[in-house]
Structure 1
Amino acid sequence: MMKPKDSRNAKGRGRIPRRDVLAGLAGMAVTGMAAPFILKNGLSEPAKAAIPFVYPTAPQPPADASVVDVTLTAKFRTRQMLPAPAGLSQIAGYDDKPEMMMIRLKQGQWLRAKLVNQLSEHTSVHWHGIRLPNAMDGVPYMTQPPVQPGENFTYAFRPPDTGTFFFHPHCNTVEQYGRGLVGTLIVEGDEKRPSDADVICAYRDWRLKPDGSFDALMTEKGAATAGTFGQVATMNGQPLPLRREVPANGDTRLRLLNLDLTRILEIGVEGAEAWVIATDGNAIDPVKLDSWKIGPAMRLDLLLRMPRQAGATVRVFNYFSPQPILLAELTAGKTQLDKPPFTPDLLKPANLREPKLDGAQQLPMRLSAASSQSATAPEVKLPDGEVLRIADALCLTPHTFWAINGQAWPAQGHDVLPPPLFKLAKGRSYVFEVANVTPRVHPIHLHGHTFKVLDSDRNTVVPHFADTTLVFPKERLRIAFVADNPGDWMVHCHIIEHQETGMMGFFRVA
């Protein structure tokens, strides 16, 4: 368990003291392929000679590049999350502001983010939804060594796509993300004309006891079913509902992010006609909103015209609950804008390659319960006979409940890493038929790629680009994409307890 103080030698959730922690696996800087490496204090000379050490380094922006520099200081801060007499809560975050950290770039700019780890355990940053170089993807033991306490690591990349994204850790995620390590990343430049207001609505729950301390973030019952739900709902890190004043008769863009670890939202709007203009940050032909479900890690951009009358309100609800929950309330300001008739055609088309469906290879992805309810860390035997664990206990959980194509992560019997679920040829189009044979919903996320949701055998689908999609019980959903980003890339359920108890694997593009 991550603690808000230095506990490197504490006997936490199976944690190993740093001197015994195996830190390994980096992306190959030249090819972008992930290749395993091993690093351990006191490693013998024969072992050193036998194992290639390849460290990922951030690419250097060109001399004339526009670079946005940020520092992400991962540490605990105290906040009054619950009303007094509840005590202060120890919240993990990337900066000292009470609201969730938000980064904005303009299209074409580089982001250079220095992660400074002031936690008591190692961490990293995964840039969710960004099609970036493999070495910058932020997955410990897959694309980089973990960033140990007191150390830092710099990420640098130029996002190829505009849109609404976010970032979070990718090891012991249920603890680190669950305690607050998450932020939003907006890449501007997709609008044909400027909107009159741009409002970020990043939703998440917190598992807090009445005294303000954290409740258990993972439970065996929750991990084996629909997840362990939080009790305190927030928007942008603040209590619901989010309230904003925006121009009367103006066009307001709502960027809705479901950053919860478990909860599904069904978004509806009352008081104005709203249109879906982007999914997971990718522009689509506008669709009039009735309601739209977004699971954990999914995003939805809406455009609406505010009422003319000052003081009139527009309300955003979550309908995926016994009673509608008010998420945000927009109030028309005193100044009324003189606008032409409303049209939802705000965004430029997404700059993504259309998969070629004719001749595309069809690949099955079966979401199921795991055949075994236990997990064992993979091991590697060094030339001198020493046996090392390839992943430290921080990244593992004591239970395995879920699997993809019958393979759980981590599964028993693999020497170093589980084999890839799929080996894909760079530049070729693929269709994944995702079959959910479980009684639970799974939001499936692919790293490094954006796919097109094609159709479903149970639900009506508006074809759209995404990086995460909901797959309902007994549903077969088809997605397609061009495997154009070389490397080893994770694929997993974004209900974090499902991810950490088996429903994760990787695919290789070469």
Structure 2
Amino acid sequence: MISRRAVLLGGAAAGAAGFAPSALGRLPTSRDTLPKSAPVRRLALAAGEMEAPLLGPGKPRTKGVCTYDGTPFLTLRAPVGTRLQVDFENRLPDPTTVHWHGVRVPYLSDGVSPLTQAPIPAGGRFSYDVPLPDPGFYFFHPHCDETGQVGRGLVALLLVDDPAEAKLGFDAEHFVIVKDWRLDADNGRWLEMFTDEGASTSGTFGTVRATNGSVTPPRVEAPAYGDVRLRVIVADNTRTIDFGCDTEDAAIIAIDGQALPPLLLSKLPDEIWRMGPAMRLDVHVRMPAPGAEVKVYDYRTAEPYLLTTLVAVDKGRKKTSFRPKALPPPKVPQPDLKRATRLDYLVQTAAGPIVTAEPLPPDDPLAKALIASACVGSRTFWAINRNSWGAGPDLRLPPPLMTLRDGDSYILSITNVTKHVHPMHLHGHIFRVLSSSKKPGIPPYLADTVMTEPNETVEIAFRATSGDWVFHCHILEHMDSGLMGWFRVL
């Protein structure tokens, strides 16, 4: 199954393919986030296609479902402090890469073509160095033809376990993976993932809603009066949800894998947490009496959409008062807010490809880099400070939004002047969300992706790490049609 973008592969992709890291010349230093003595786990990983009953039992099966190791929503787990040496093989018919979302990897393992590597062709291989310095809930996915490949299921979960969390005594763990399918309901065939109408507005939505890959919302048993750890991810290309539960005994204990003091859902505005593509939550839910249920919903739709039902079963427990469990505090690098440099960025629409920033020096090894046409969309609709990532006929790598200094702290003010939401993701960093012009009551928290609403200004802060790092909207069509830039940190 060859995608529309793969057909467009030509001279631009060939130019990028020769742009391997070993040929890049002088680059920013690639920082390691673990000591060389860290334990190593070597693993083989392959991306490929399979057939699956996405429409449900008794309905036509769908070909060309993309998975890692032949397992829909593959889950990998490793202890914090482990280094993964990943030998990746591309068994897809199209080029791909692997991006380790939220993980503080050396930038040459970040999986962004052509910034950190060339696209991996069909049948090609690439080795990734993936240190795991921080516990939490992460995931990995392609960063080439991301709209098409993620749209067809190429997403996997990565859990980095902290031994100290075992003492908290959760009775059950359950994943809620929000991922829709864009299918013809009659024959199970894929519909076009990237449309100009969707890419230029709120995105092209799936036609079949699903949780954990199934059109039937899961029902999960847990001990009555017990404690469940929900791990929620929006793995969809486009969908934004308003996550909530029909119980007051529920609290957010981590955002994007980073612990925070427990935040009761009942104390939030409308008792929901808004999540866009790539965003994750860990939620502590106290189960009710035997036979009762806790329903987990997306409240953003006209009628609340049921994501999962937790069913309380009698295990001889007695009712106790609900006290949310606090995870160990994060140890990620923290910005120095008193010495931070402030940078202002507008997320805006664009009538076509725009680049207003100063170009890279001619002798910079990335100055002539070309973006593979297989990795982006066919049109440009978006920009950051009037600078658009290469798309359509404009496949040159744009200059960086800014050159930053390794170890220095920065405050980014992100203002969304469009009519649509944009979940903004910064690669290689965990940042602190400081404030929002529309959500003044939310306390600061750590994350790697932050939602920006129309006409909202959000401030985030981080300590910069050496490398070349992209900053983009995680509504994938927006990213593929220009809403991505990059920072060089020297």
C-alpha spacing 1:62/1:420, structure 2 compared with 1 (3 Å): closer
Instruction: Output the TM-score relative to the length of structure 2.
Output: 0.89
- Residue matched to 1:283: 259
1:180-237, CA deviations, whole angstroms, 9 ceiling, x for partnerless residues? 1111101111625231111111111110102100011011000000000001122222
Q: C-alpha separation between the residues in 1 aligned to 2:79 and 2:479?
A: 32
* Equivalent in 341, 345, 349 of residue 365 of structure 1: 345
* Equivalent in 12, 29, 47 of residue 74 of structure 1: 47
Q: C-alpha separation between the residues in 1 aligned to 2:461 and 2:409?
A: 7
- Residue matched to 2:273: 292
- Contact 1:261–1:296 (CA<8 Å) still a contact in 2? yes
Offset, 1:389: 6.9
C-alpha spacing 1:53/1:240, structure 2 compared with 1 (3 Å): farther
* Equivalent in 475, 490, 497 of residue 456 of structure 2: 475
- Contact 2:335–2:409 (CA<8 Å) still a contact in 1? yes
Offset, 1:110: 2.1
C-alpha spacing 1:82/1:63, structure 2 compared with 1 (3 Å): same
Q: C-alpha separation between the residues in 1 aligned to 2:7 and 2:354?
A: 16
SS at match of 1:358: helix
SS at match of 1:205: coil
- Residue matched to 1:92: 66
- Residue matched to 2:140: 167
Offset, 1:72: 2.3
Counterpart AA for 2:292 = A
1:323-360, CA deviations, whole angstroms, 9 ceiling, x for partnerless residues? 10000111122313468643213300111233222231
* Equivalent in 113, 120, 130 of residue 86 of structure 2: 113
* The 10-residue stretch of structure 1 (260-269 or 157-166) with the greater mean CA deviation from structure 2: 157-166
2:171 equivalent to 1:196: yes
Q: C-alpha separation between the residues in 1 aligned to 2:320 and 2:41?
A: 35
SS at match of 1:235: coil
SS at match of 2:338: coil
* Equivalent in 187, 191, 209 of residue 184 of structure 2: 209
C-alpha spacing 1:323/1:412, structure 2 compared with 1 (3 Å): closer
What is the number of residues matched between the two proteins? 472
Q: C-alpha separation between the residues in 2 aligned to 1:11 and 1:206?
A: 19
- Residue matched to 1:452: 432
Counterpart AA for 2:275 = I
Counterpart AA for 1:304 = V
SS at match of 1:394: helix
C-alpha spacing 1:307/1:295, structure 2 compared with 1 (3 Å): same
Q: C-alpha separation between the residues in 2 aligned to 1:91 and 1:432?
A: 38
Show structure 2 runs of 5+ residues with no match.
266-270
* Equivalent in 245, 257, 260 of residue 236 of structure 2: 260
* Equivalent in 10, 15, 18 of residue 16 of structure 1: 10
* The 10-residue stretch of structure 1 (487-496 or 158-167) with the greater mean CA deviation from structure 2: 158-167
SS at match of 1:239: coil
Offset, 1:95: 2.1
1:457-506, CA deviations, whole angstroms, 9 ceiling, x for partnerless residues? 222332111100110111111111111x2100000000000000000010
Offset, 1:25: 3.9
Give me the CA root mean square deviation.
3.1
Greater share of residues in helix: 2
- Contact 1:318–1:324 (CA<8 Å) still a contact in 2? yes
Aligned pairs (5 A) from 1:380-459 = 390-410=370-390, 417-459=397-439
* Equivalent in 110, 121, 124 of residue 137 of structure 1: 110
C-alpha spacing 1:371/1:466, structure 2 compared with 1 (3 Å): same
Counterpart AA for 1:468 = T
- Contact 1:272–1:306 (CA<8 Å) still a contact in 2? no
Counterpart AA for 1:95 = D
Counterpart AA for 2:234 = N
Q: C-alpha separation between the residues in 2 aligned to 1:451 and 1:389?
A: 29
C-alpha spacing 1:389/1:86, structure 2 compared with 1 (3 Å): same
- Contact 1:26–1:135 (CA<8 Å) still a contact in 2? no
- Residue matched to 2:268: none
C-alpha spacing 1:363/1:374, structure 2 compared with 1 (3 Å): closer
Q: C-alpha separation between the residues in 2 aligned to 1:343 and 1:270?
A: 17
- Residue matched to 2:209: 233
1:8-28, CA deviations, whole angstroms, 9 ceiling, x for partnerless residues? xx9954123899464144557
Bigger relative contact order, structure 1 or 2 (CA pairs below 8 A, ≥6 apart): 2
C-alpha spacing 1:61/1:275, structure 2 compared with 1 (3 Å): closer
Percent identical residues? 39
Q: C-alpha separation between the residues in 2 aligned to 1:11 and 1:291?
A: 38
- Contact 1:235–1:242 (CA<8 Å) still a contact in 2? yes
- Contact 2:193–2:204 (CA<8 Å) still a contact in 1? yes
* The 10-residue stretch of structure 1 (495-504 or 413-422) with the greater mean CA deviation from structure 2: 413-422
Offset, 1:247: 1.9
Instruction: Output the TM-score relative to the length of structure 1.
Output: 0.85
* The 10-residue stretch of structure 1 (342-351 or 436-445) with the greater mean CA deviation from structure 2: 342-351
Q: C-alpha separation between the residues in 2 aligned to 1:59 and 1:463?
A: 27
1:390-418, CA deviations, whole angstroms, 9 ceiling, x for partnerless residues? 22221232210000010000179999631
Offset, 1:278: 0.6
Counterpart AA for 1:133 = P
Counterpart AA for 2:128 = Y
Q: C-alpha separation between the residues in 2 aligned to 1:373 and 1:63?
A: 43
C-alpha spacing 1:196/1:339, structure 2 compared with 1 (3 Å): farther
Q: C-alpha separation between the residues in 2 aligned to 1:195 and 1:489?
A: 36
- Residue matched to 1:350: 330
C-alpha spacing 1:307/1:232, structure 2 compared with 1 (3 Å): same
1:435-465, CA deviations, whole angstroms, 9 ceiling, x for partnerless residues? 1111111000000001111112222332111
Q: C-alpha separation between the residues in 1 aligned to 2:326 and 2:142?
A: 33
Offset, 1:105: 1.1
